[in-house]
Amino acid sequence: MQISQLAAATGLSVHRLRRYADAGLLLSTRGPGGFRRFDAQAVRDARFIAMARDIGFALAELANLLPRYRARTLTIEEMVERLQTRIAVVDAAIAEQQALRARLVEHVGWFEARRRQAARNPSRRRNSP
């Protein structure tokens, strides 16, 4: 099938499919006129790649997983473990952002206190922190 047919079958854009093919993740051959030709396995591969990318897997990690996915030797246990690892990464990023938010709220409080103090003491008003 041509890339436009693969796009229709997977719901993915031609641009995205080309990017996966250029990265070596989607296997294709070249047909007449140099057009890429994909087999039926490419539909399954493209859906797996898109799902994995959408939940944050790196292309390099997918390049390691795809041969086993195609051979059907990638286990559910391994995928669950990898997903749990991704969850831990997301949780760490959330914790980091929450800590940053807390620091920002602290700073807002400090500036608000300075504004209240300046309003009470107009003669000591400063524009700088």
Instruction: Determine contact, residues 69/48, Cβ cutoff 8 Å.
Output: yes
Instruction: Let me know how long the chain is.
Output: 129
CA distance to 2, 4, 123, per residue, from 81 (Å)? 35, 35, 63
- pLDDT (0 to 100) of residue 129: 59
**Is residue 128 scored above 70 in pLDDT?**
no
CA angle 104, 107, 111 (to 5 degrees): 140
Instruction: Determine contact, residues 36/3, Cβ cutoff 8 Å.
Output: yes
User: What is the rounded average pLDDT for all residues in the chain?
Assistant: 92
CATH of 3-74, one of 1.10.30.50, 3.30.499.10, 1.10.1660.10, 3.10.290.10: 1.10.1660.10
Q: What is the mean pLDDT of residues 83-103?
A: 97
